[in-house]
């Protein structure tokens, strides 16, 4: 059953029809004749399923683009009155149509799909949503199982495992790794012996990467070979998913590295390879100790206390 209501300063019934088959088969044959090119109207169409108040109804607002500004304002302001008079509890769905394609059964189904799709998120909201997926919960109980390490534990390829084994035995001083976002697996990009002066050139400017570098240096007269784990992220040129995956996997991956016999002395995060200089690495590994302990000085007394007074002891009788 369908009703059409036009507006001429008041709501009035223009047409109505009885149910013939089911609502989907009747939809186009009953609704299409009611749609006029430049004349707005409300159409109340009964659906076949029931709700606590009775049959569910669809309220279609047909306001074409060719309608006058006055008509558009009038129909927008009258819609609430129509719902109140008809009974808003009976109206289960609403459809605002401005083109004839939207008034068809196909347009109705497309409207339902679009209506059920989540609203688009901003970049900040997407990052927060990804963080919520990977955050460690803190509700403790007798039967609860807790995540001991925050983040995503991505599997590593055989080449990564072999390269870590070779580095632990002195075969390489530099390793570079990438995450396959579709496979969610860590792969080896490069295994080589790299001079410190050419290390900045190994850092990509368009993708995130993990790096391991053995920094050979002297400190306080001792020769040291310190392993530095570097997470490089070239700003916002990478996708949100890439940033979140690398951020979430770095903790578990650094733990995997240490399980292969490589003791990481320092973990760094950079966005530009130019940061990796000898001075920068030395300062990160051996920060300067500042002696900020203030020396205590005895406060001075008042500038003029006057002459000291001597008291004569009193004789004990």
The gap from C-alpha 154 to its chain's centroid, in whole angstroms, comes to: 19
What local confidence, expressed as pLDDT, does residue 313 receive?
62
Residue 232 has pLDDT above 50, yes or no: yes
Mean pLDDT of 132-149: 47
Length reported for the chain: 317
Q: How far apart are CA 113 and CA 262, in angstroms?
A: 52
Mean pLDDT of 160-176: 93
Name the one residue in this structure whose structure tokens are 């509890």. Answer: 89
Mean pLDDT of 57-64: 91
Give the CA distances from residue 83 to residues 6, 88, 187, 200, in Å, rounded to whole numbers and listed in that order: 14, 5, 60, 67
Residue 277 has pLDDT above 60, yes or no: yes
- Its pTM stands at 0.48
Contact 62, 97 (CB under 8 A): yes
Domain with CATH 3.40.20.10 in the chain: 23-116, 158-285
The 8 Å CB, 24+ separation contacts for 22-26 are 22/48, 23/47, 23/48, 24/105
218, two tokens: 């002297």
What local confidence, expressed as pLDDT, does residue 142 receive?
40
Mean pLDDT of 53-75: 88
Could you give the angle at the alpha carbon of 26 between the alpha carbons of 24 and 28, nearest 5°?
85
What local confidence, expressed as pLDDT, does residue 256 receive?
93
Sign of the torsion formed by the C-alpha atoms of 202, 205, 209 and 210: positive
What local confidence, expressed as pLDDT, does residue 118 receive?
62
Query: Is the domain covering 158-285 a CATH 3.40.50.1820 domain?
Result: no
pLDDT in tens, 101-126: 998 988 888 887 776 656 666 666 66
Q: Which CATH architecture has domain 23-116?
A: 3-Layer(aba) Sandwich (3.40)
10, two tokens: 């008041």
Nearest to 55 by CA among 65, 67, 63, 47: 47
Mean pLDDT of 172-199: 93
Mean of the per-residue pLDDT values for the chain? 82
**CB count in 10 Å sphere of residue 199:** 21
């Amino acid at each position: 059953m369908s009703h059409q209501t036009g507006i001429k300063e008041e709501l009035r019934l223009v047409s109505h029809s009885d149910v013939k088959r089911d609502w989907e088969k009747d939809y186009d044959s009953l609704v299409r004749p009611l749609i006029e090119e430049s004349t707005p109207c409300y159409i109340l169409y009964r659906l076949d399923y029931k709700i606590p108040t009775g049959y569910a109804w669809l309220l279609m607002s047909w306001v074409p683009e060719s309608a006058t500004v006055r008509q558009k304002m009038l129909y927008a302001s009258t819609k609430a009155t129509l719902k109140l008079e008809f009974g808003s509890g009976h109206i289960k769905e609403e459809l605002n149509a401005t083109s004839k394609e939207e008034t068809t059964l196909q347009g109705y189904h497309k409207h339902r799909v679009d209506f059920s799709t989540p609203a688009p998120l901003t970049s900040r909201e997407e990052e927060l949503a990804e963080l919520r997926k990977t955050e460690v919960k803190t509700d403790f109980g007798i039967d609860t199982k807790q995540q001991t390490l925050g983040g995503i534990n991505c599997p590593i390829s055989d080449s990564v495992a072999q390269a870590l084994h070779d580095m632990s035995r002195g075969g390489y001083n530099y390793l570079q790794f990438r995450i396959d976002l579709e496979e969610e697996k860590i792969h080896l990009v490069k295994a080589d012996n790299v001079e410190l002066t050419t290390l900045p050139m190994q850092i990509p400017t368009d993708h995130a990467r993990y790096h391991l570098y053995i920094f050979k240096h002297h400190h306080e007269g001792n020769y040291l070979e310190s392993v530095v784990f570097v997470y490089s992220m070239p700003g916002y040129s990478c996708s949100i998913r890439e940033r979140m995956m690398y951020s979430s996997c770095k903790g578990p991956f650094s733990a995997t590295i240490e399980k292969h016999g490589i003791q990481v002395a320092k973990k760094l995060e950079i966005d530009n390879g130019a940061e990796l200089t000898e001075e920068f690495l030395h300062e990160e590994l051996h920060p300067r100790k500042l002696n900020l302990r203030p020396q205590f000085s005895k406060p001075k007394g008042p500038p003029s206390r006057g002459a000291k007074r001597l008291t004569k002891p009193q004789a004990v009788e």
